[in-house]
Chains A and B, each alone.
Chain A
Amino acid sequence: MIGCGRRHTRAVYLLLTVIAIIALIPFVWSVSTSLKSLEDAYAFPPSLTVDDVRWSNYGDVFEKLPFGRFLLNSAVIALAAVTGAVVTSSMAGYALARLPMRGKRVWFVLLVASLMLPSQVLLIPHFLMYESLGWVGTYKPLIVPAWLGGGAFNVFLFRQYFRSIAMDVEEAAVLDGATRWQFYRFVLMPMAKPVVVAVAVLSLLYHWQAFLNPLLYLSDFRKYPVSLGLRMYQTMAGTWVNLLMAASLIAVVPMVIVFFVGFRVFDAGRRGD
């Protein structure tokens, strides 16, 4: 920006720091609670400082409940769903962006329309359908839809990006003897890396945080993903608030890592263009 004087800069830093401290309060309080014993956590008046630091709480998270299992379940569901979403939405985006096909205009209108359709309209029919298929109690309702298009928004994102790529590269690949599939696999997807990463990271976040669908379709707690598992620290035999905070903090770590890596790749990919 223009006219960034030194005094101005200092004011900006000050403001940002104050906001950052406020934004971090919930985290700080959670960390503090996660290191307390249960009695200290429920002591009155509450205090931010911890007298008796209990790192063992973080181990207890995994012992009181199968939290490792929850993490693993989440990872399995999210990875399976994200793979499907990236593969099928990019394929559909490619077809809609540059391949000849019958009734393309109608399909595109349907895509845009489904972009605006709120999911709750489909909630009940989906449940009835999965129930009649005998899929309730399995991961299928959480994973299979991702392999059937993986969300209108992702399809749309890929379509827009593929339309912006110069036609020449595709023709060069065709003359090099590549089939459509080979072009998609070896040229188009590597070229679309920033979008692939963006879609993958966003849908990973979506599936990692998903709550309503697992709640509807899973009843056996050994199959629970993290989002449902976390709630058990609250509902089982009173609240283990210290463990609950520790588990909440553990659950966010994978997403923080994913986002950091994602940012890296995304920035590098954009700079490379």
Chain B
Amino acid sequence: MADVTLRVVSKMFGRGRRAVSAVDRVTLEVADREFVVLLGPSGCGKTTTLRIVAGLESPTGGSVSIGGRVVDDVSPKDRDVALVFQSFALYPHMTVAANLGFGLKMRGTPKVEINRRVSDVADMLGIADLLDRRPDGLSGGQQQRVALGRAVIRRPAVYLFDEPLANLDAPLRVQMRQKIKRMHREFGMTAIYVTHDQQEAMSLADRIAVMRNGRIEQIGRPQEVYRRPANRFVAGFVGSPPMSFLDVRIRRSGGEVSVLLGDCCWPLPKGMADGLAGGSDEPLVMGVRPESVRLSFENNDEGRLLPMQVEMVELVGDRCDVHGRLPTGQLLVARAGAADGIEEGAHVWAIFDMDGVTFFERSECGRNVMPEVVGAGERVS
């Protein structure tokens, strides 16, 4: 096991004016036995970052070290890393056993040892009865297990995963997710895991690094990223359904700080009000998670409830996501119980749990203005 450090790593594709920056000055430290997920939309540079760690791409700037050793001049096979591919990348002409053992064979491991470890790994992954089959005769889930086994069998210092579950059906994805999580716990593996699925990231990661345009927008524990997103992009990308953004104004009168939206006005809790920077009457964006919105059919608290017209109700098991429109024309998503009886076209009243809201600048990058979020959007130059 080993830690991984990326120092100001950049990658440009092409040359001169046509050059495209895929990874832009990324700095990341993955501790020994830590599970870090690189999360972002497609084209954000997360896979390129992973491939740089693997040594399949050479960075145009910066340096990578694994286990304290700078590996910039070390070929991929000598980096002691294993990569699980999205496409599985199994050798089509080899049996499952040969696929699993290939890496050991190439490294000159004695045959007896290879056989022993192949059967160990096959038992662990529940593919012992498939050892003589070829990949094209296996289901997607089985192929995925073989691909996983091919990485595990070498006991590498670092595991790299490139969207390994993207090609699987939804139920299988959940099952394999748990398998990977268990493996992480059992072996104490150091892992970097690339995905665009925020739910996968949430459930697997010790820390999540959210990427956009080749940069890391925020890195932190899943709860941190969820509760205190560094900016509007992270807030919008993490969480499903996504956070709603409402244009509000701040009013300061005496020691009181309150939020104004349309005809409504809410005082902020003491702790939050202290930290909020900026003057009075400042325009901000308030971010609200669906679970921080409560809906009722009656306006029982004049001046604090927002009228909302329900446009769409999505049922998710015992609860539902209610998509509605406020009088100001802004959209709001709320979570309600399935039994609450909210129907499309209904008029309801919304109120916010003010402990759960966040405030962003009303600018392009939409930085979070809550002071607890240190290092948000910070970049080393």
- A173 — which chain B residues lie within 8 A by C-beta? 91, 102, 106
List 7 A-B pairs, minimum CB-CB distance, nearest first: A168-B89, A176-B103, A177-B106, A177-B77, A172-B89, A190-B93, A178-B106
* Complex Cα spacing A186 to B105, Å: 11
- Is B85 in contact with chain A by the CB < 8 A criterion? yes
Q: A186-B102, A191-B93, A193-B93 are in contact. Are A175 and B87 (CB under 8 A)?
A: no
Judge whether B76 and A272 touch: CB under 8 Å.
Answer: no
**Among the listed A171, A176, A193, A272, which residue makes an inter-chain contact with B102, where contact means beta carbons less than 8 Å apart?**
A176
Judge whether A175 and B92 touch: CB under 8 Å.
Answer: no
- Is B56 in contact with chain A by the CB < 8 A criterion? yes
- Is A169 in contact with chain B by the CB < 8 A criterion? yes
- Is A53 in contact with chain B by the CB < 8 A criterion? no
- Is A239 in contact with chain B by the CB < 8 A criterion? no
Which B residue's beta carbon lies closest to that of A166? B87
- Is B194 in contact with chain A by the CB < 8 A criterion? no
Judge whether A169 and B107 touch: CB under 8 Å.
Answer: no
- B85 — which chain A residues lie within 8 A by C-beta? 168, 171-172
Judge whether A191 and B91 touch: CB under 8 Å.
Answer: yes
Chain B contacts with A in 153-211, Cβ cutoff 8 A: 154
**Among the listed A168, A174, A186, A191, which residue makes an inter-chain contact with B76, where contact means beta carbons less than 8 Å apart?**
A174
* Complex Cα spacing A186 to B87, Å: 20
* Complex Cα spacing A1 to B136, Å: 29
- Is A182 in contact with chain B by the CB < 8 A criterion? yes
- Is B83 in contact with chain A by the CB < 8 A criterion? yes
- Is B82 in contact with chain A by the CB < 8 A criterion? yes
- Which bracket fits the contact residues of B? 20 to 34
- Which bracket fits the contact residues of A? 10 to 19
* Complex Cα spacing A182 to B87, Å: 22
* Complex Cα spacing A172 to B93, Å: 14
* Complex Cα spacing A174 to B75, Å: 9
A-B contact pairs, 6 of them (CB 8 A): A169-B90, A171-B54, A175-B81, A177-B106, A182-B106, A193-B93
Which B residue's beta carbon lies closest to that of A193? B93
- B136 — which chain A residues lie within 8 A by C-beta? 272-273
- A175 — which chain B residues lie within 8 A by C-beta? 54, 56, 76-77, 81-83, 103
- B92 — which chain A residues lie within 8 A by C-beta? 169, 191, 272-273
Query: Interface on chain A toward B: helix, strand, loop, or mixed SS?
Result: helix
**Among the listed A168, A187, A191, which residue makes an inter-chain contact with B87, where contact means beta carbons less than 8 Å apart?**
A168
Instruction: Quote the shortest CB–CB distance from B107 to chain A (angstroms).
Output: 5
- A172 — which chain B residues lie within 8 A by C-beta? 83, 85, 89-91, 150
Interface 1/0 per residue, B100-112 and A, CB below 8 Å: 0011001100000
* Complex Cα spacing A178 to B75, Å: 11
Judge whether A169 and B89 touch: CB under 8 Å.
Answer: yes
- B94 — which chain A residues lie within 8 A by C-beta? 190
**Other than the known A172-B85, A193-B93, what 14 A-B pairs have Cβ atoms closer than 8 Å?**
A166-B87, A168-B85, A169-B89, A171-B54, A172-B89, A172-B90, A173-B106, A175-B54, A175-B77, A175-B83, A176-B106, A177-B106, A190-B93, A272-B134
Chain A contacts with B in 130-179, Cβ cutoff 8 A: 166, 168-169, 171-178
Which A residue's beta carbon lies closest to that of B84? A172
Judge whether B89 and A176 touch: CB under 8 Å.
Answer: no
**Among the listed A182, A187, A193, A273, which residue makes an inter-chain contact with B91, where contact means beta carbons less than 8 Å apart?**
A187
- B81 — which chain A residues lie within 8 A by C-beta? 175
Chain A contacts with B in 81-128, Cβ cutoff 8 A: none
Judge whether A171 and B91 touch: CB under 8 Å.
Answer: no
